[in-house]
Structure 1
Amino acid sequence: MQLEAKSIIDLTQTISENLQVYPGDPPVEVHTVSTLEDGFVLERVCMSSHGGTHLDAPWHVLKGGADVSSIALERLILPCVYVDMSALSKKEDRLAKLTGRFTDLKDKALLLSTNEKLSANITPEEVEVLITGGVKLLGVDAMSVEHSDDLVVHRQLLSSGVLIVEGLANLHMLNEKQEYFLVVAPLKLEGCSGAPVRAFAITL
């Protein structure tokens, strides 16, 4: 079976030195090691393990949690639900919309469009809906699911077996009524709490 290009939606930010990173994180640096004049082109790339579109592994906030290399691939390839939260500013409206999709969540990934750059402002109450509904992965367009010093939402999700993908792109190309299959492919980095990913949705 060969997929048509129009059935694949790339949800990944391009990694370059222009990539915006979370405040305080190291910027992306790309250094040329050799050129064609040397016989071949080779670059050295330096960046945070949580830069751009990336996966948060349990080790990110949980003592003894799994690192990126320990996450089974079947946890990163799964059916996907999309919900657009970008027009909802009130917490009760957001919660109501998530609750309305409750029956769609079991054993699936949930991708949330918030139109926020820094934080998706996910609340503990929203997380409870997701966990109870059986979500296996939460993906957001913002650089982080939350903006807090104690990272309570990260801990809630990861301690409950819900993986986190942050910094998704092109979520506006998804349709809330369409079914998708999500693929998240992180670099297999041993001992790392996160990794850049190539994420894409396939139209079913």
Structure 2
Amino acid sequence: MHHHTPTAAHAARPRRIVDLTHTLDEDFPLWPGDPLFRMRRIREAPEFLVHELCFGEHTGTHVDAPLHCVPGGDAVDRIRVDDLLAPLVLVDIADRTASDPDALATPADLAAWESLHGRIPDGALVALITRPARGRPDGKVNPEAPAQPHDDAEVHALTRSLTPDAAGIAHWPGFSREAAEFLVQRRAVVAIGTDAPSIDCGASTAFPAHHAVLGAGRYAVEMLAALRALPPAGATAVVAPLKHRGGSGGPARVLALLD
């Protein structure tokens, strides 16, 4: 009797794939001053559907390349392809953000993560979870549960974060300078990320996390989605930004693979 033998590619397929990418449309929140996201059907192509897209580089779930804040740094098309596949480390600081919307992840948060899950692996993407799970104050998640469709609450939270207060200051959590420097210098990360609009907190004017990470030739991933569908350790991130020559960053499709 013939027995079906899985191919190597089939056998290596992850048990679960979670999309960490927000769906872009014309209502998605933008950085103040960024160009509007526009999608227009090209009428001159009657046989096939074709749209013209217009958007800024830092729209939706996106990558910041070193060039974003480092003159002469690598552009998005020069990020090493080996660095776009990374162990995913999720550090949850949501328990502090309700009382402190400008909360910063510190080296103590990273030490606490390592005490539970072991040393942060070399070449990781370390991302912050900054918002409590809706209806789950403890923030716990069942990693075996099926991935949920993207929650509009995540987009609403980004909109609220990007809306300045009466003093003109926007508020969301981020990485402290010390945490970012620790990850680059002591843990050899390839990138840091967040579900918030930026890896630096909303009130920051010096952007220390950007300078620490991009200044070291690493990259950032901002506005990640669905992080609560994943365990704190064990997933692998696939980060695929738009590859345009000389770009300071670009919208990215980000996937998490679970074995």
Q: TM-score, normalising length from structure 1?
A: 0.89
Quote the residue 1:124 is aligned against.
177
Residue correspondence of structure 1 range 129-168 to structure 2 within 5 A: 129-131=182-184, 132-146=186-200, 147=202, 148-168=204-224
- Count of aligned pairs: 201
> Match of 2:42, SS?
strand
Q: How does 1:52-131 map to 2 (within 5 A)?
A: 52-89=60-97, 94-102=106-114, 103-115=119-131, 117=158, 118=161, 119-131=172-184
1:11 and 2:20 matched = yes
The answer for the alignment partner of 1:169 in structure 2 is 225
The alignment's C-alpha RMSD in Å is: 2.1
User: By how many angstroms is 1:82 displaced?
Assistant: 1.6
* Residue 184 of structure 1: aligned partner: 239
Q: Distance in 2 between matches of 1:48 and 1:93?
A: 28
Gap regions ≥5 residues in structure 1: none
How far off its partner does 1:165 sit?
A: 0.4
Residue 42 in structure 1 maps to residue 50 in structure 2: yes
Q: Give how far 1:93 is off.
A: 7.6
TM-score by length of 2: 0.71
- Alpha-carbon distance between aligned partners in 1 of 2:95 and 2:121, rounded to the nearest angstrom: 21
SS at match of 1:138: strand
The change in CA–CA distance for 1:114 and 1:182 in structure 2 (over 3 A counts) is same
Query: Quick check: 1:184–1:197 contact (8 Å CA) kept in 2?
Result: yes
Cα distance in 1 for residues equivalent to 2:27 and 2:83: 31
Q: 3-state DSSP class of the match of 2:198?
A: coil
Q: Identify if the C-alpha distance between structure 1 residues 58 and 87 changes in structure 2 by more than 3 Å, giving closer, same or farther.
A: same
Contact 1:124 1:156 in 2 (8 A): yes
Aligned mates of 1:29, 1:140 — CA distance in 2? 25
Counterpart contact for 1:35–1:41, Cα < 8 Å: no
Q: CA shift at 1:29, angstroms?
A: 0.7
Amino acid at match of 1:62: V
C-alpha distance in structure 2 between counterparts of 1:120 and 1:189, whole Å: 30
The residue type equivalent to 1:123 in the other structure is: S
Distance 2:42 2:104 in 1: 53
Shifted more, 9-18 versus 146-155: the winner is 146-155
- For structure 2, the 5+ residue unaligned runs are 1-8, 132-156, 162-171
Alpha-carbon contact 2:238-2:256 (below 8 Å) kept? yes
Q: Whose strand proportion is higher, 1 or 2?
A: 1
* Match of residue 20 from structure 1: 29
Relative distance call for 1:111 and 1:33 in structure 2 (3 A) is same
Alpha-carbon displacement from aligned partner over 1:125-171 (angstroms, at most 9, x marks no partner): 22122122222211110111123333232111111233100010001
Change (3 A) 1:19 1:93: closer
Q: Distance in 2 between matches of 1:191 and 1:160?
A: 18
In 2, Cα distance between equivalents of 1:195 and 1:92: 25
What is the distance in 2 between the residues matched to 1:101 and 1:10? 23
Shift of 1:92: 8.1
Contact 2:87 2:121 in 1 (8 A): no
